[in-house]
Amino acid sequence: MKKITSFTIDSSPIKGGGGFRAYTVKGEPRSAFSMLIVNNAGNFYNFPENTVISEEEGVVTPAGSFSSTPVRLSTKTIGNSGVYNGVVDFPAASDDKYTVVLQAETYLKTKFDESLSLNAVYHAAEITQFADTTVTFAVASTGSSGTYTANPPATSHVSSGPSTSVTNKKFAQPISFSKTVTLGSSQFVIARQPVINDFYFTTTKDTFSVGSGKILELKDVSGLSLGMAVSGTGIAANSTITDIKLGYKDENKSVATKAVYTIPKDIDLVDGIQSIADSKGGTITLSENTTSQAVDRTITFKGFGNGGSRDFNNTMFTVKNFNLTIEPIVTTTDADMGSNSVTVPLTITTGIKAADTVIMSGIGVLGTPHVDSVSSGASVNVSVTQTAFSIENGQTVTFTGSSQTATITADIEIEKYGKDDITLTLELDNILTVG
């Protein structure tokens, strides 16, 4: 009997878009084998090399694919070199797992070396495929959502790439972020320019036990990080995470000067196989006291910026040239200034706010007047007296510093696509003051 002595294939995870995997079978000359590859759904790889190519008859090599039809690689014989090389073309797919099985062709007097298998079948490898993950950049207002024309008020920017479950390499995927937001009523002024930590994401966790005070026991603390905002029933306003520990306090082993935390074991079931692993449960400390907590209560956590998303699921991004601008309000007078006055009659006042930073300008406007008060739909009072007839009826005037339309732009670069999808939302309330 001739022996097959080794089999190698790159079994690292495959990205959602698919990929090639080269394999090598080594053995004694004239040893023979076949192969099958089956996925989690019980479908079989078609082995395109089984197809006899005939250009005259229009027969071409098919793409790699899986179907319910049982297929295996046609019997291959190892030559005098003692090596057979082949390639598997895994197609695009969502999350999947492939089992590679080698068979020694005993009818051709071939067996496996004992180090591989004691029979004619060798379960050679398992390969996991992970769907590409998606990073979504959106905008929203928490406190004034009903004032905007929509919330989120613009189409989100979406980008997909290989999950960090597949590769940990850094990318440099650029996104030209541009959002124009509009109020349906009221007006806003710029509170400040945006920064990267104005992007946030949310996740939820369930409580593990009954409790109160600043301590909160959760069934899963994975992805949580210091500084995350915490909200939910019984959670005080403005609460944040100040400490995270794996496991739960063991009252029997803890003393006044030192708390001892025990990490329980969980039983995981993956593809029908049970395994024992450390629990993901843990204990967090909050900045504020909670009221009484119940078991299985859902708590919401909010993380911020690149640091938060990195700790949460390995998503990493940078932001440059972050800029917020608001459109000026351009309107016209609807009467002559018949006498010296601080009252300027206008056709519309929508979007104009009374503030020292809201400035009126235009032909005939004296000085640099700011808006002291607004008479809705009628006029504004300004800080500089305007001379009689200096501003005529129908005169165009411009107000800067308040508006109903704002534009946010940035150059975003995604460095890593995380383990799973994430939505990063720009909090408008941090940068625009409404009303």
Average pLDDT of the residues in 239-244: 96
Average pLDDT of the residues in 210-227: 92
Contacts 24+ apart (CB under 8 A), 49-52: 49/73, 49/74, 49/86, 50/74
Which DSSP string do the residues of 12-52 spell out, in sequence order?
Answer: SPBPTT-EEEEEEEEESTT-EEEEEEEETTS-EE--GGGSP
Rounded to whole angstroms, how far apart are CA atoms 51 and 46? 9
Q: Return the closest-CA partner of residue 288 out of 203, 202, 207, 212.
A: 212
Rounded to whole angstroms, how far apart are CA atoms 213 and 292? 8
Q: Which residues contact 40 (CB under 8 A, 6 or more apart)?
A: 96, 97, 271
Rounded to whole angstroms, how far apart are CA atoms 368 and 358? 10
User: Is the per-residue pLDDT at 55 higher than 90?
Assistant: no
Instruction: Tell me the pLDDT of the chain averaged across its residues.
Output: 91
Residue type at position 394: G
Render pLDDT for 169-189 as a digit per residue (tens, 0 to 9).
Answer: 889 999 999 999 999 888 999
Render pLDDT for 298-315 as a digit per residue (tens, 0 to 9).
Answer: 999 999 999 999 999 999
**Distances, alpha carbon 209 to alpha carbons 281, 293, 295, 298, in Å:** 11, 8, 5, 12
Average pLDDT of the residues in 330-345: 90
Model-level pTM? Answer: 0.84
Q: Return the closest-CA partner of residue 35 out of 45, 26, 20.
A: 45
Average pLDDT of the residues in 316-339: 93
Provide the edge-to-edge strand list for the sheet that holds 211-218: 157-161, 133-140, 422-427, 199-206, 298-304, 229-231, 239-246, 282-293, 211-218
Q: Return the closest-CA partner of residue 302 out of 133, 423, 138.
A: 423
Neighbours of 269 (CB within 10 A): 8
Tell me the two tokens of residue 384.
């500089």
Rounded to whole angstroms, how far apart are CA atoms 40 and 95? 10
Render pLDDT for 3-43 as a digit per residue (tens, 0 to 9).
Answer: 999 999 999 999 998 999 999 999 999 999 999 999 999 99
Rounded to whole angstroms, how far apart are CA atoms 287 and 239? 5
Residue written as tokens 């024309």?
149
